Structure 1
Amino acid sequence: MSTIIHFLQKFLNITIFDVFILFLLSFISYIINLAIKYPNNGVGTNYRKDLPGPKGVPIFGNLFTFMFKKNTYIELKQEWANKYGSPYTFTIFKRRHVVSNDPQTIEYVFKTNFKNFKRDPAFIETFHDLIGDGITTVEGYMWKFQRKLISQQFQGRNFKDLAFASVIRQSEIMIDHLKKYADSGKLIDLKDLFFRFTIDTFGDLTFGIDFECLSNIDKKAKFVTSIEYAQAVSHERVLQPFRKLIEKYSKKGQRMHEACKYLDDYIYKIINSHRSNLKVEEKPVNNMLTLLMDAVDDNGKKFNDKELRDIILNLIIAGRDTTALALSWMMYEIMANQSIENLLLQEINSFLTAEKPILLYDDIKLFKYTTATFYETLRLYPIVPVNGRVCIKNDVLPNNIPIYAGEFVEYNLYIMGRDEKIWGDDAKQFNPKRFLNLKNDLKPNKFKFASFHTGSRACLGEQLATLEAVILAIML
């Protein structure tokens, strides 16, 4: 820049002020040109007059609508779906979103032509500080390798025995806490208790770790508060195009760095401790951490500590958040619907009696209404309501809507769960019985009911999540 300025001053005989005005006029001309080229959509996006959608502002599209919205994110999306139908489109800065709340779209993107759709690079970049290159973000061979390993830990009789024992153990601690609060008449944050329950259960089952969230109920562990802060900042980044500059000089950025550093140190300490124990124990501990440490890829290479850290943190967050939130909504609906609670008690009391008060693993499948209540919760309150993939090459969706390379194909399970065309006239009602009339073991079409995701990326922890929710509901 200094060379250019020197050249302009020497050969054109103009002042620094003249140079500044020249560059300012050039910059303004450039912005005007972009505004003309992208009159109501984000810079670099295709103009889609073939699809309805909210009008945006030049260059930034609908970014400011999200940043300064008066209602919640889900409410805004629902308002647009009601107004424009499906599919509709909007843009956020450099990305066009095409929203198609249709089971056929989910099947096409996540199964039929899965190879032509990839993870959103913006998601990977904004969450990378927290979850790194774990199974949530990686693609290709590394994703397949991690998924294959992790799936081994969630299958077979060994998992069933370990999971059942772990869930029962942590559920009993939960019940003890609730009894104490009931006896004292004090209020309790039930959602917070569910979060403590799921993280302790997952840590116990998969890594042999006690996070001490239930045993130390009067305060939150720093490990947990660090996760929660890093998650909150990562979510905020989605709507901050200049977040790198902002975080570099802000207290929030410093706190984010400190939270991630603490998580790194905590996980590395777990890895090193486990590795030391494996060296001295005659019989290796059979859990997921041992499996991951011993795993060798096709090139004979083992995971390094950074890769282990990413995988472990991905699993902990997934194992904690999703089931805890589902349990919270489930209990909310049970408490709001006396008839639902009566039917649950009727089913539970028909299998657990004074003569047989203890729950056994093989009994779980008998509790169909309890399981249906959990599924109905996820139908109306999906834990990951909005999902989608980025198109790699130009494509056409089943509804004959063209999708261009770089566009994000999105669906919204929250809206789909309330769609009468998909779920019938009572779609907005909480009615677990809808799952009891199905032939396929309570489950509807997996692209219609995609609360556990679907296709190649279907949730590996579905069995564990269902087990946790059903057992805890029965014991409560």
Structure 2
Amino acid sequence: MESELSFIFCSIFFSFTLLFCLFSLMIFLLRLKFGCGCEICRAFLNSSWSKEFDNICDWYTHLLRKSTTGTIHIHVLGNTITVNPANVEHILKTRFDNYPKGKPFSVILGDLLGKGIFNVDGDSWKFQRKMASLELGSVSIRLYAFELVKVEIQTRLIPLLSSFSRNGDVLDLQDVFRRFSFDNICKFSFGIDPGCLNLSLPISKLAVAFDVASKLSAERALTVSPIVWKAKKLLNLGSEKQLKEAIKMVDQLAEGMINHRRKMGFANKNDLLSRFMGTIDDDKYLRDIVISFLLAGRDTIASGLTSFFWLLSQHSEVESAIRDELDRVMGPSQELESFESMRELHYLHAALHESMRLFPPVQFDSKFAEKDDVLPDGTFVKSGTRVTYHPYAMGRMERVWGSDSLEFIPDRWLQNGRFVQENPFKYPVFQAGLRVCLGKEMALVEMKCVAVALLRRFNIRIADPVQAPRFVPGLTATIKGGLPVIVEEN
């Protein structure tokens, strides 16, 4: 009798919840239809922008160029978007306290990232930030990361490209970089080697589950209302059912890794999981922290390298200049030298920054205003508004980068042959202010190591050189259809 009552109660509760979601969705759709009738909102709702632009970020760029302040508002999304460096500094530094990640963002990514550093605010963020800063800033961890990269390049990346060079086969360079960075970040974060870049190019269950979870989590943010994906989650339908299954796989594999490390001991290990285990006993919290680093260290590196090599294929003069610098600085040796020596490659450093100016791995980032505010350009921001700064669009703004903003010119970063860093609020590719990326230096060294190794050994040509990159929605920029290349050994 008791079990029957429980079943009836659960059924009634589920029915009322479903009705509430459907009612809320109906109200929302009616509000859309009879509410804001501006041209931008209509274009977003009926996707008419896609007739002219391949990527929604290109449409936003177009709108932001036309704005006198460099700021627009997408009413239907409750989203204020800006490319004004003064606004970016205001959001990320001056009024940092008023622009946290916010609950809407943490809910969207909560199932995947949990309470990891990229999905929390307040004391939890401060604790993880301090802990990560101590670890990632140490000389030993940087040397450890550098050695991991060297080994992956020497034993897997170079042999794989050599194999394709001999056979004359077309290779998806984006897939290769994703495998390369996944191997590295798994070894760095968990102390395990998934072997994704072995010559057989095996499929990793963790990599597949992680890709699906990242993609579907990002798609939540693209819905016109959170009611849509929340209703699907409640009913366990479609993409939400897939997401649940993918995250379950990620959780199981992460749990297995944590249990294995506890059994084997972690006192003398250098991977992040082992280092964090000395401070944190909560396995769920450990999982959230390490999965966040997995996301940051895998997709961003792969995205940055993919765009970089596509740009080199379009600018042979830049490729030649990088090779000249490598000959001048490194001599005839093809071996990667020390972590510190990578800093002497000023032109390569500039070329990577210029590449990410045009194709940032994270195309935009959002915060949520806690209180009413006014941005430096005079834009009023109501409490609860989503506020987005847009590195992809910023890199294409004449008002920010000059009349040659659309051109790939590494020299804009050099003075007397030496790299000079730009204002981070003009170039927020690695964020800026208090949330600036802690792994920035290690990421740049990893990318330079790959560039050095490949440019000294291979000529890499795009299979279809006239095809411009088309990006698909995601937490990081991914080229639709990959980057097919033909590889020739020097």
TM-score, normalisation: structure 2: 0.80
Q: Which residue of 2 aligns with 1:24?
A: none
SS for the counterpart of 1:369 is helix
Q: In the alignment, is the contact (CA less than 8 A) between 2:189 and 2:293 conserved in 1?
A: no
1:261 aligns with 2:242: no
In 2, Cα distance between the equivalents of 1:428 and 1:458? 25
Q: In the alignment, is the contact (CA less than 8 A) between 2:58 and 2:393 conserved in 1?
A: no
In the TM superposition, 1:251-290 aligns within 5 A as 251-278=238-265, 284-290=268-274
Post-superposition shift, 1:84? 3.6
Q: Which residue of 2 aligns with 1:127?
A: 109
C-alpha deviations, 1:18-67, integer Å up to 9, x for none? Answer: xxxxxxxxx9xx969x75997317xxxxxxxxxxx74536xxxx762459
Q: Percent identity?
A: 28
Q: In the alignment, is the contact (CA less than 8 A) between 2:347 and 2:418 conserved in 1?
A: no
Distance 1:312 1:97, change over 3 A: same
Q: Which runs of 5+ in 2 are unaligned?
A: 1-22, 455-490
Q: Which residue of 2 aligns with 1:113?
A: 95
1:39 aligns with 2:21: no
In the TM superposition, 1:194-273 aligns within 5 A as 194-215=177-198, 217-240=200-223, 241=225, 242-247=228-233, 248-273=235-260
In 1, Cα distance between the equivalents of 2:379 and 2:141? 44
Q: Which residue of 2 aligns with 1:11?
A: none
Q: In the alignment, is the contact (CA less than 8 A) between 1:202 and 1:316 conserved in 2?
A: yes
In 2, Cα distance between the equivalents of 1:442 and 1:325? 23
Post-superposition shift, 1:449? 0.9
1:364 aligns with 2:349: no
1:64 aligns with 2:60: no
C-alpha deviations, 1:307-358, integer Å up to 9, x for none? Answer: 1111111110110000100000001111111101110110011122336855
In 2, Cα distance between the equivalents of 1:235 and 1:377? 24
In 1, Cα distance between the equivalents of 2:33 and 2:316? 58
Post-superposition shift, 1:97? 1.6
Q: Which residue of 1 aligns with 2:434?
A: 456
In 2, Cα distance between the equivalents of 1:395 and 1:119? 16
Q: Which residue of 2 aligns with 1:340?
A: 318
SS for the counterpart of 2:35 is coil
Post-superposition shift, 1:226? 0.7
TM-score, normalisation: structure 1: 0.83
Distance 1:31 1:335, change over 3 A: closer
In the TM superposition, 1:94-173 aligns within 5 A as 95-172=77-154, 173=156
In 2, Cα distance between the equivalents of 1:231 and 1:149? 25
Of the structure 1 ranges 247-256 and 187-196, higher mean CA displacement relative to structure 2 is found in 247-256
C-alpha deviations, 1:156-189, integer Å up to 9, x for none? Answer: 3212321221111111121111011001101111
SS for the counterpart of 2:299 is helix
Structure 2 counterpart of 1:190, from 159, 173, 188: 173
Post-superposition shift, 1:76? 2.1
TM-align CA RMSD = 2.6
In 2, Cα distance between the equivalents of 1:386 and 1:331? 22
Distance 1:358 1:105, change over 3 A: closer
Q: Which residue of 2 aligns with 1:89?
A: 73
Identify the structure with bigger relative contact order (alpha carbons < 8 Å, sequence gap 6+). Answer: 2
Of the structure 1 ranges 350-359 and 446-455, higher mean CA displacement relative to structure 2 is found in 350-359
SS for the counterpart of 1:56 is helix
Q: In the alignment, is the contact (CA less than 8 A) between 1:417 and 1:427 conserved in 2?
A: yes
In 2, Cα distance between the equivalents of 1:339 and 1:318? 31
Q: Which residue of 1 aligns with 2:377?
A: 399
Q: In the alignment, is the contact (CA less than 8 A) between 2:101 and 2:367 conserved in 1?
A: yes
Letter paired with 1:88: I
Post-superposition shift, 1:424? 1.6
Letter paired with 1:286: N
Distance 1:129 1:438, change over 3 A: farther
Of the structure 1 ranges 411-420 and 76-85, higher mean CA displacement relative to structure 2 is found in 76-85
SS for the counterpart of 2:117 is coil
Post-superposition shift, 1:403? 1.5
Distance 1:35 1:139, change over 3 A: closer
Distance 1:473 1:31, change over 3 A: closer
Post-superposition shift, 1:210? 0.5
SS for the counterpart of 1:443 is coil
Letter paired with 2:41: G
Letter paired with 1:292: F
In 2, Cα distance between the equivalents of 1:73 and 1:79? 10
In 1, Cα distance between the equivalents of 2:329 and 2:32? 69
Distance 1:357 1:121, change over 3 A: closer
* Rg larger in structure: 1
SS for the counterpart of 2:403 is coil
Distance 1:217 1:76, change over 3 A: farther
SS for the counterpart of 1:99 is strand
Post-superposition shift, 1:359? 2.1
Letter paired with 1:89: H
C-alpha deviations, 1:355-389, integer Å up to 9, x for none? Answer: 68552333211111111111111111111111231
In 2, Cα distance between the equivalents of 1:90 and 1:36? 12
Distance 1:174 1:99, change over 3 A: same
Structure 2 counterpart of 1:374, from 322, 328, 352: 352
SS for the counterpart of 2:146 is helix
Q: In the alignment, is the contact (CA less than 8 A) between 2:349 and 2:419 conserved in 1?
A: no
Q: Which residue of 2 aligns with 1:16?
A: none
Post-superposition shift, 1:453? 0.7
Of the structure 1 ranges 106-115 and 417-426, higher mean CA displacement relative to structure 2 is found in 417-426
